[in-house]
């Protein structure tokens, strides 16, 4: 179970960190798709090359969205075998209130980096590894815009003894009473994924 929960958290953080990479790639116009197809008919010319940026942005966003879907599936799967934990809630807030400033700081660092070709490869990779470790340690990897679209909400819960991150598919936290039973993934992560079928 520990390995499964560690993999889940790592996957969630990698998924969210792709937004940082996406913004870096977009800012430096690093594209993997380069279609140089041109169709000419009389005085009309249709060139796909001018749509390369659109194709690349769409591909990157689709990749992040698909990974978000997979992580939601993993959350649902792991919650089935997780133990229940009864907690007494002292305070609860949406996670973005606390972690958004750190998330934006990392985005600013990523946007300030020049094109990868201007850096030593080891140095450049070290920067991104450091940013990911910071991302993971500060728990800001739970911030993912696609989760909101998919109906997933992330909250920070404070109890008398400790703090938890709660991942839920409820639109607000009014479903939580002061004393609530939730699924425990590990020492800091709780899940409340309600089956739509009941």
pLDDT digits (tens, 9 = 90+) for 58-84: 999 999 999 999 998 888 888 888 888
User: H-helix or E-strand containing 194?
Assistant: none
The pLDDT score that the predictor gives to residue 67 is 93
Name residues whose C-beta falls within 8 Å of residue 17's C-beta, 6 or more positions apart in sequence: 131, 132, 135, 141
Tell which residue, 135, 109, 180, 96, has the closest CA to residue 12.
Answer: 135
CB 142 within 8 A of CB 76: no
The pLDDT score that the predictor gives to residue 17 is 92
**Residues of the chain falling short of pLDDT 50:** 198
Residue 192: strand pairing partners: 168
CB 81 within 8 A of CB 1: yes
Q: Where are the beta strands (DSSP E) in the chain?
A: 38-41, 44-47, 83-88, 91-94, 153-158, 163-168, 179-184, 189-192
CA 62 – CA 81 distance, rounded (Å): 30
DSSP state of 169: S
Q: What is the DSSP string of 62-78?
A: HHHHHHHHHHHHHHHHH
For residue range 174-184, list pLDDT tens digits in order.
767 667 778 88
CA 13 – CA 76 distance, rounded (Å): 17
The pLDDT score that the predictor gives to residue 175 is 67
CA 39 – CA 46 distance, rounded (Å): 5
CA 58 – CA 35 distance, rounded (Å): 14
């Amino acid at each position: 179970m520990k390995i499964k929960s560690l993999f889940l958290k790592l996957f969630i953080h990698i998924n969210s960190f792709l937004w940082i990479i996406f913004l870096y790639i977009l800012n430096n116009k690093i594209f993997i798709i380069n279609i140089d197809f041109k169709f000419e008919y009389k005085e009309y010319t249709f060139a796909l090359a001018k749509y390369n940026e659109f194709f690349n942005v769409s591909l990157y966003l689709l990749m992040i969205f698909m990974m978000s879907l997979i992580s939601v599936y993993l959350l649902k799967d792991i919650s089935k075998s997780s133990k229940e934990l009864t907690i007494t809630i002292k305070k609860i807030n949406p996670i973005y209130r606390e972690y958004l400033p750190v998330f934006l700081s990392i985005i600013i660092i990523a946007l300030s980096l020049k094109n990868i070709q201007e850096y030593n490869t080891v140095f450049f990779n070290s920067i991104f590894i450091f940013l990911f470790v910071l991302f993971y340690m500060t728990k800001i990897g739970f911030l993912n815009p696609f989760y909101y679209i998919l109906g997933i909400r992330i909250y920070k819960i404070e109890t008398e003894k400790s703090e938890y991150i709660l991942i839920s598919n409820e639109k607000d936290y009014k479903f939580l009473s002061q004393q609530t039973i939730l699924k425990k993934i590990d020492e800091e992560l709780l899940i409340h994924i309600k089956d739509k079928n009941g």
